[in-house]
Structure 1
Amino acid sequence: MNYTKLFMASAVIAFTFSTAQTQQEMVKSIMNEAYSNSQTEKLAYELVDGIGPRLVGTPKMKQAHDWAINKFKSWGIDARNEQYGEWKSWERGTSSVEMVYPHVKSLEGMQLAFSPATGAKGVTAEVIMLPTFKSKEEFNKWLPKVKGKLVMVSQYQPSGRPEYNWKEFATPESFEKYKKETEAATREWNQSLETLGLTWRTLNKPFEDAGAAGLVLSNWSRGFGVNKIFSAGTKKIPAVDISLEDYGQLYRMLQNGVTPKLKIVANSKDRGMAPTFNTVAEIKGSEKANEYVILSAHLDSWDGGTGATDNATGTVMMMEVARILKKLYPNPKRTIIVGLWGSEEQGLNGSRAYVSAHKDQMPNVQAVFNQDNGTGRIVNVSGSGFVNAYDYLGRWFAAAPSELTREIKFTFPGSPGGGGSDHASFVAAGVPGFMLGSLNWAYGNYTWHTQRDTYDKIVFDDLKNNVALIAILTYMASEDPEKASNEKMRLPVNPRTGKAAEWPSVQEPIRKGGVD
């Protein structure tokens, strides 16, 4: 008998058993900490209610970065702010929109981000509705009418009921009529903008240049009581968004020969330029310190609501994962990095800046786990176009209890995508980056970029599930004896061009924003 071989085989079996036992114990400890000692509610309160919306360049954004650093340090985790550029600095104040003729009524609305202030007396003027046009010449003849007026520049919506509500209660004939009429109106509106060479991003400038007193928008989000809140797109005149209901009333008054008059007061502050940052936290690796597992979420938000599900939830998850791992797994094999990115909303600027500043790290990144689409439990994971992602992701996910993974649908190898969230910045650099897609919870209509994206929309049971799962994945990725493969798939032929699609290219961030 070959006792040497027998001893070696026994040692391998013992090591494998010991490793599996250690993994099971760690998974059990992570699950217990994630559910029995969760800090998610407290973190969310401090970030969402305590600090509020985190628009790039604002004092609130800097406050959030500093808050995150202090939290990490209180857990014994090294953290820093990395500056990558600067942005127009603007601070929201109080704002009001009132109808003062034909009768007095406070309208539901708010100043749009980066909108100029009005001064204490505000702006009082009649409203005028932007019609649709068949030609640019027709528009140019009409444009002088906006001088001194508040211009309504959004499409009129005759019904504030979302389509699902119509479908549930209307007769089939009534529902089809509703759909046909609304789709026709939308086509006409969009065709008019196309004829004028305008988009929703560039729509406001011609009116400002023509001497309008201000702009009134209503960017309906196709749900009861929700509007998208974005940038003003003006430099000198105020721009406000008001509810569909109030916008519709103004429109119908105009249609019936009554010209309403509004008073807008907006008390924002222009603070010049401010630095833009990423907050980066690090738990140093003990054996492979120059290999990395990156936890990714963007800290910034739009500021209609308080940025709860876009993306305080992702931020809180990744911070809570770091807290748990520092407590239970303080000496990971690979370095664990938490990146809380700035200015994702303006084009992935923070994560692109990190990739640019840390080019030397990119070949050594084991995986990037990114969370950015709401409050729901993780149910969709794509391989992001990496040929062997099914192998190592399969091993890591297999370590998690079935109650965390049973709903997840995997797509392998998936595709690299075009840049919807921060993992794309890493994927473009050839790094295995994965979006951990959440259950919908009506995110697209009701919270994504709306004024209703607030603390009360967070589903903490789902957040705790996600924290446990991401902590387990991070532990497994750190412990894995193998470096994850970053081999890319061969992309399919584009039927329009007849050529193979190309892998996304690395993009530099905007280093000086909000000044155009």
Structure 2
Amino acid sequence: MNYLKKATLSLTVFVAGFSFAQTQDAVISAIIKEGTEHSQLKNYAFELIDVIGPRLVGTPQMKQAHDWVVDQYQNMGLEARNEEYGTWKGWERGTSEIVLTYPRLRSLDGMQLAWSPATKKGGVEAEAVVLINAANKAEFEAWLPTVKGKYVMVSALPPTGRPDYQWKEFATLESYEKMKEERESIEKEWNTRILITGYNTTELPKILEKAGAAGIVMSYWTGVMGANRIFGAETQKIPTVDLSLEDYGLLFRLAENGKKPRINVDVQSKDLGVAKTYNTIAELKGGEKADEYVILSAHLDSWDGAGGATDNGTGIITMMEAARILKAVLPHPKRTILIGNWGSEEQGLNGSRAFVADHPELLEKIQVVFNQDNGTGRIVNISGQGFTSAYQYLGDWLHAVPEVYKKELKTYFPGLPSAGGSDHSSFVSKDIPAFMLGSLSWGYGQYTWHTTKDTYDKIVFDDVQNNAILIAILAYKASEEAELMPREKRIMPLNADGERESWPQAKQPQRSKP
């Protein structure tokens, strides 16, 4: 997930003296009791993150997750289905074994990128070289044939593997400033090195592949010890692997100092052709206004450097738990509560965009969308997304929430509409009130977002339980509201050029990837 935060007016949600003991609404009391005493969050997290694992679009695990989610909702007594909306490149991750074979023997910590081609069984051994620091494009072109049969290292090597917070705590000011200057110099030099080739970072691996390289070696370090981001490969025939910063540094230094290191890369992924893509939709049917909807929104897919725990396993299990609680205590809400478990958010909000495109009959009947997609922390901010009525309606619904579940929560009204970043944007662009429920960081940006560390142990279940109860209360209040929330939009501000900004335009989903 990535997201844009803009706000014009801040309001701290506060209800003086309001506590669980003073709650008068019997349904809210029952929601709190059910969510506190009978939580299924740990069970859901174990099955989704430990048993099924990462949920990269196009993989068997993604389809397994869709089917599992359907089963869970049906077991709750909800209607649930998988809705097909397209296809994607079918692929399955296998084992990754990367070994330094010369000048000494050592297993290296690394893995394939998503959709990377496999090697032959037993792997391919070859020398590893660093991308040339060419004086000009002609020199790069002259060097290019020398990469044939070699692994090419395409990432810069930072001067330190320690995070900034350790430097700030332990280093002298002079040492810290010196390190930052060195890091900036290295980054600038490497950017120039790439620029001189005439290709960008997406194109370069393809050029090296065409030149006959044995594979691409990189390291996308986040700045936190041990955490690397894992995205998709650009190569079609040779493997692309990411090494931990520590082992990439070892290999880089050996190559730069003329030791001609050799590695054996043995990666056993599977090309599965074409796979179908889905959204999983569940519904707690309403009564009096059953043809109107409150939507609980979270994306089911993930990148696959780790288990996809905080992006967005926690969002999924939160919405599952909120739905379970509501079914237990409010089996017949006024409006239908629809739970959207979207596919392929990480590849461009494709699942939610497809749902919006494929269900025009629902769009005018959606009361509100609550979306959760940024980690395991307690929900602490909500933007009005530019809807002028958000202040009244969200304020009223939040008023009913006991203080303990919202004591750190701030709202921003009217706010500005999100043009992307997560699935609420797919609805906002269609003038539907949809709100991102922003969470406390818990190091999300550098530590778990799309990284090798996004694992079950990073979940803070007390915070997730808080969120499930909060969302269940908001969904209940929104479902019982007398009328649909108005959709009047704010006047957009002027941009830096003095021109009036526009409301985000709806985008079509990408429905296939060869």
- Scaled by the length of structure 2, what TM-score is found? 0.94
Q: For structure 1, which segment, 280-289 or 453-462, has the greater mean C-alpha deviation from structure 2 after superposition?
A: 280-289
Change (3 A) 1:22 1:101: closer
Give the AA of the match of 2:433.
Answer: P
Query: CA-to-partner distance for each residue in 1:16-39, whole Å, 9 max, x for gaps?
Result: xxxxx9962111111111111100
State the SS of the aligned residue for 1:254. Answer: helix
Report the equivalent of 2:471: 470
Letter aligned with residue 261 of structure 2: P
Cα distance, 1:386–1:198 mapped onto 2, change above 3 Å: farther
Out of 175-184 and 373-382, give the one that drifted further: 175-184
Q: Which amino acid aligns with 1:215?
A: I
Corresponding residue number in structure 1 for 2:348: 347
For 1:436 and 1:383, how far apart are their aligned partners in 2? 11
Q: What's the CA shift for 1:190?
A: 2.5
The range that moved more, 98-107 or 498-507, is: 498-507
Q: What is the SS of the residue equivalent to 1:232?
A: coil
Distance 1:334 1:499, change over 3 A: same
- In 1, the alpha carbon distance for the partners of 2:133 and 2:83 equals 47
Could you tell me which residue of structure 2 aligns to residue 512 of structure 1? 512
Q: Which residue of 1 aligns with 2:491?
A: 490
**How far did 1:216 drift?**
0.6
Pair 1:423-2:444 in alignment: no
Q: Which residue of 1 aligns with 2:12?
A: none
**Letter paired with 1:121:** G
Residue 132 (structure 1) shift: 4.0
Amino acid at match of 2:94: G
**Which SS does the other structure have where 2:204 is aligned?**
coil
Name the counterpart of 1:59: 60
Q: Is the 8 A contact 2:388 2:490 kept in 1?
A: yes
Unaligned runs of at least 5 residues, structure 2: 1-21
Q: Deviations over 1:238-279 (max 9, x none)?
A: 111111000101111122220100000011111100100000
Deviation sequence 1:319-350 (CA, Å, 0-9, x none): 11111101111111111100000000000000
Match of 1:176 in 2: 177
Question: Higher mean Cα deviation, 272-281 or 180-189?
Answer: 180-189
Name the aligned partner's letter for residue 369 of structure 1: F
**After superposition, what is the alpha-carbon deviation per residue over 1:341-393, rounded to whole angstroms, capped at 9, x for unaligned?**
00000000000000001112112211100000000000111001111211100
Alpha-carbon spacing, 1:202–1:399, altered in 2? closer, same or farther (3 Å):
farther
- Between the two proteins, the alignment pairs up a number of residues equal to 493
Aligned ranges 1:79-478 → 2 under 5 Å: 79-133=80-134, 135-478=136-479
**3-state SS of 1:339 partner:** strand
Amino acid in structure 1 at the alignment position of 2:508: E
Q: Give the whole-Å Cα distance in 2 for the aligned partners of 1:85 and 1:420.
A: 21
Q: Identify if the C-alpha distance between structure 1 residues 89 and 147 changes in structure 2 by more than 3 Å, giving closer, same or farther.
A: same
Amino acid at match of 1:503: W
1:292 and 1:115, CA in 2 relative to 1: closer, same or farther beyond 3 A? same
Instruction: Give the distance between the partners of 1:65 and 1:278, measured in 2 at CA.
Output: 8
2:9 matched to which residue of 1? none
Determine helix, strand or coil for the equivalent of 1:249: helix
Letter in structure 1 aligned against 2:253:
R
Paired with 1:283 and 1:134, the residues of 2 have a C-alpha distance of 64
| CA distance, structure 2, for counterparts of residue 199 and residue 267 of structure 1 | 28
Distance 1:173 1:22 in 2: 57
Q: What TM-score, normalized by structure 1, do the two folds share?
A: 0.94
> Which moves more between the two structures, 132-141 or 287-296?
132-141
- Larger C-alpha radius of gyration, 1 or 2? 1
How far did 1:195 drift?
Answer: 4.6
Secondary structure of the corresponding residue to residue 45 of structure 2: helix
Q: Equivalents in 2 of 1:492, 1:191: separation in Å?
A: 37
| 3-state secondary structure, aligned to 2:70 | helix
Distance 2:43 2:163 in 1: 34
Q: Please tell me the residue identity of whatever aligns with 2:502.
A: E
Q: Could you tell me whether the CA contact under 8 Å between 2:130 and 2:256 is conserved in 1?
A: no
CA distance in 2, matches of 1:446, 1:152: 24
Partner Cα separation in structure 2 for residue 270 and residue 24 of structure 1: 54
Equivalent residues of 1:281, 1:337 under 8 A apart: yes
> Closer, same or farther in 2 for the Cα pair 1:255/1:474, shift >3 Å?
same
Q: Aligned-pair distance for 1:193?
A: 3.0
Q: Compared with structure 1, are the counterparts of its residues 402 and 255 closer, same or farther at alpha carbon in structure 2 (3 Å cutoff)?
A: same
Matched-pair contact (CA < 8 Å) for 1:158–1:248: no
Write the mapping of 1:14-29 to structure 2, written as runs, cut at 5 A: 24-29=25-30
8 Å contact kept, 1:230–1:302: yes
Render the CA deviation track for 1:447-479: whole Å, top value 9, x for unaligned: 100111000000000000000000000000000
How many angstroms apart in 2 are the aligned matches of 1:201 and 1:361?
Answer: 39
Out of 128-137 and 322-331, give the one that drifted further: 128-137
Once the two structures are TM-superposed, the CA of residue 186 in structure 1 deviates from its matched residue by 1.3
Aligned to 2:502: 502
Residue 19 of structure 2 aligns with which residue? none
Task: Note if contact 1:300-1:345 (Cα within 8 Å) is conserved in structure 2.
Answer: yes
Unaligned 5+ runs, structure 1: 1-20
What is the DSSP-based 3-state SS (H/G/I as helix, E as strand, rest coil) of the residue aligned with 2:203? coil
Task: Report the counterpart of residue 17 of structure 1 in structure 2.
Answer: none
Q: 1:224-244 CA deviation, whole Å, 9 max, x = no partner? A: 111001111111001111110
Q: In angstroms, what is the RMSD of aligned CA positions?
A: 1.3
CA distance in 2 between counterparts of 1:365 and 1:450 reads 35
Counterpart CA distance in 1 for 2:113 and 2:193 is 24
Q: Partner amino acid for 1:156?
A: L
Q: For residue 198 of structure 1, report the CA deviation from its aligned partner.
A: 3.8
User: Could you tell me how far apart the structure 1 residues matched to 2:200 and 2:32 are?
Assistant: 48
- 190-199 or 392-401: bigger deviation: 190-199
Percent of residue pairs bearing the same amino acid type? 57
